[in-house]
């Protein structure tokens, strides 16, 4: 199935979800009026009473909503509110109520539009690099191993220099671009196992991403890693991809206090025992949230559950921690044109942010929520009571027609698999359900995988140093905010 192969979950996309989540196409949702929890007057009073926290952060949690541009946030906010029977436009996601925020520019060293590798690396290292590269400076060349280009990540510096514990959580493979940006250094994000590592790169001293995670020196190795991707860590004879015969999961478990877990129960037990945890719950990516009913939900933890487990485990560390949490499938579903799936992942991501805010104290924990890049999603209209996943309606309640005589979706893409493939133009929307989980949303230009977009992305923050997240910011500036909050010097010792 196209969508399943693109998302690389190995699980067919569910064809139906709970009726509590979706309403039939065209049906208006119940309205309760503007959200009374945040009136403009109350927002102003809170802003006037706010004092910036200029202290040092004991803990830092970086949330990356992969592909979470402004239009994705807006559409996801509306959908989340509508699913709760509220007015979606005035609804708040968990990070909407953070006190500080701004816009972040996301270009790469070689492009107006960034990929996840450069985007995440810019935040985690302070260096803008080329598209496709991780943990290296802007002089790197794609696929050319040059260890002299490696630059330390915020996580590596925090652990090596001030003793912070380090955690990585993602719904993708933990060797995918955004989570790998916390610990890896490669000029090609595709080097996830040694099977993808060219011989020339190996000879020049480069390691694959999975090996870098497990074989890193104690002083920089993460203490907790939760997500997908066990195939990159295990040899071919054990169902994995590695050709060197190494079982990196066994090596991880063999370290003092190490634990390798593959399900929710194992994760919970390892947290209670304060182990160093490698939790890999899928061969590649964790199944999409809309796939969960058919993908062993009793075994695979949600992003919120992994976030709670990570904070519970890392909070026990005496020096505090640095944690990365990525909502990966916002992006992956966008690439497939699966608008319902993408916005559902955005809502799940917001739940993880809510959990982190609940479990931490903003007096000593900096939480920064942002994106690595945007996607070309457009919101073209719709009445306040219309399902945001549906069609724009005319005065009679029937779908409004464009000049080509076909209905207009409220949400559409600039590029993607829903674009016209020939001169006949875009397909009609009269048949089928545009709110269905497997509906591929229309796009202006056909691409088999929807392209990223280059506009600024949002950032939201609270806690020590959060007041520095404001205005128009360059992506590497966010690294400087994290570094300052942790009171790390501008450069690593000896650099």
Averaged pLDDT score across all residues of the chain: 91
pLDDT band at 37 (very low <50, low <70, confident <90, very high): low
How far, in Å, CA of 192 to CA of 233, rounded?
9
pLDDT in tens, 412-422: 999 999 999 88
- pLDDT reading at 329 higher than 80: yes
Cα torsion 315, 352, 329, 38: sign: negative
- pLDDT reading at 385 higher than 60: yes
* Percent above pLDDT 90 for the chain: 85
Question: What is the per-residue pLDDT for 36?
Answer: 54
- pLDDT reading at 448 higher than 50: yes
Helix, strand and coil percent figures for the chain, each rounded to 5: 30, 20, 50
Question: What is the per-residue pLDDT for 292?
Answer: 82
Average pLDDT (433-439) is 92
Cα-flanking dihedrals φ and ψ of residue 202, to 5°?
Answer: -65, -40
Question: What is the per-residue pLDDT for 436?
Answer: 93
Average pLDDT (455-477) is 98
Average pLDDT (332-358) is 98
pLDDT band at 4 (very low <50, low <70, confident <90, very high): very low
Question: What is the per-residue pLDDT for 22?
Answer: 31
* Domains in the chain: boundaries: 60-376+451-486
Cα torsion 89, 95, 99, 104: sign: negative
Residue pair 316/297 in contact (Cβ under 8 Å)? The answer is no
Question: What is the per-residue pLDDT for 294?
Answer: 75
pLDDT band at 431 (very low <50, low <70, confident <90, very high): low
Give catalytic residues, as residue numbers: 116
Question: What DSSP line would sit under 423-446, residue for residue?
Answer: TT-SPP-SSS-TTSTTPPPPEEEE
Residue with tokens 């076909």: 406
How far, in Å, CA of 446 to CA of 23, rounded?
28
Average pLDDT (454-480) is 98
Q: How would you class 183 by CB atoms within 10 Å of its CB: exposed for 0-12, middle for 13-18, buried for 19 or more?
A: buried
- pLDDT reading at 18 higher than 50: no
Q: Which CATH number applies to 60-376+451-486: 3.40.50.720, 3.40.720.10, 3.40.630.30, 2.40.30.10?
A: 3.40.720.10
Question: What is the per-residue pLDDT for 429?
Answer: 77
- pLDDT reading at 346 higher than 60: yes
């Amino acid at each position: 199935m196209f969508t399943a192969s693109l998302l690389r979950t190995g699980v067919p996309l569910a064809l139906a979800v709970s009726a509590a989540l979706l309403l039939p196409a065209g049906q208006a949702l119940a309205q309760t009026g503007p959200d009374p929890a945040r009136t403009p007057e109350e927002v102003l009073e809170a802003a006037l009473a706010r004092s910036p926290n200029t202290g040092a952060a004991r803990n830092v949690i970086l949330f990356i909503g992969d592909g979470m541009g402004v239009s994705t946030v807006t559409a996801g906010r509306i959908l989340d509110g509508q699913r709760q029977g509220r007015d979606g436009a005035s609804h708040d996601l968990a990070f909407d109520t953070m006190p500080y925020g701004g816009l972040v520019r996301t270009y790469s060293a070689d492009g107006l539009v960034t990929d996840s590798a450069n985007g995440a690396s810019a935040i985690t290292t302070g260096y803008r690099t080329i598209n496709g590269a991780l943990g290296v400076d802007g002089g790197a060349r794609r696929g050319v191993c040059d260890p002299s280009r490696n630059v330390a990540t915020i996580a590596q510096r925090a652990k090596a220099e001030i003793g912070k514990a380090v955690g990585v959580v993602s719904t993708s493979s933990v060797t995918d671009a955004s989570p790998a940006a916390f610990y890896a250094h490669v000029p090609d994000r595709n080097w996830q196992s040694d099977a993808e590592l060219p011989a020339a790169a190996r000879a020049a001293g480069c390691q694959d991403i999975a090996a870098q995670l497990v074989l890193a020196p104690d002083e920089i190795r993460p203490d907790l890693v939760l997500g997908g991707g066990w195939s990159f860590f295990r040899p071919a004879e054990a169902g994995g991809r590695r050709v060197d015969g190494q079982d990196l999961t066994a090596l991880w478990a063999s370290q003092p206090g190490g634990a390798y877990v593959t399900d929710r129960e194992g994760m919970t037990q390892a947290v209670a025992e304060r182990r160093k945890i490698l939790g890999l719950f899928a061969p590649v990516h964790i199944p999409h949230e809309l796939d969960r009913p058919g993908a062993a939900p009793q075994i695979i933890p949600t992003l919120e559950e992994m976030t709670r487990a990570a904070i519970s485990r890392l909070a026990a560390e005496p020096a505090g921690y640095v944690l990365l949490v990525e909502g990966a499938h916002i992006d992956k579903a966008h690439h497939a044109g699966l608008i319902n799936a993408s916005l559902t992942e955005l809502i799940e991501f917001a739940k993880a942010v809510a959990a982190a805010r609940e479990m931490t104290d903003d007096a000593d924990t900096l939480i920064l929520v942002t994106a690595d890049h945007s996607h070309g999603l457009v919101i073209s209209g719709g009445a306040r009571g219309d399902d945001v996943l549906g069609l724009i309606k005319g005065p009679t309640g029937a779908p409004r027609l464009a000049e080509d005589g076909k209905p207009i979706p409220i949400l559409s893409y600039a590029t993607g698999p829903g674009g016209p493939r020939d001169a006949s133009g875009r397909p009609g929307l009269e048949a089928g359900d545009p709110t269905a989980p497997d509906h591929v949303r229309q796009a202006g230009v056909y691409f088999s995988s929807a392209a990223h977009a280059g506009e600024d992305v949002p950032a939201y923050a609270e806690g020590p140093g959060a007041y520095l997240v404001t205005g128009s910011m360059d992506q590497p500036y966010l690294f400087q905010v994290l570094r300052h909050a942790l009171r790390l010097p501008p450069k690593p010792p000896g650099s």
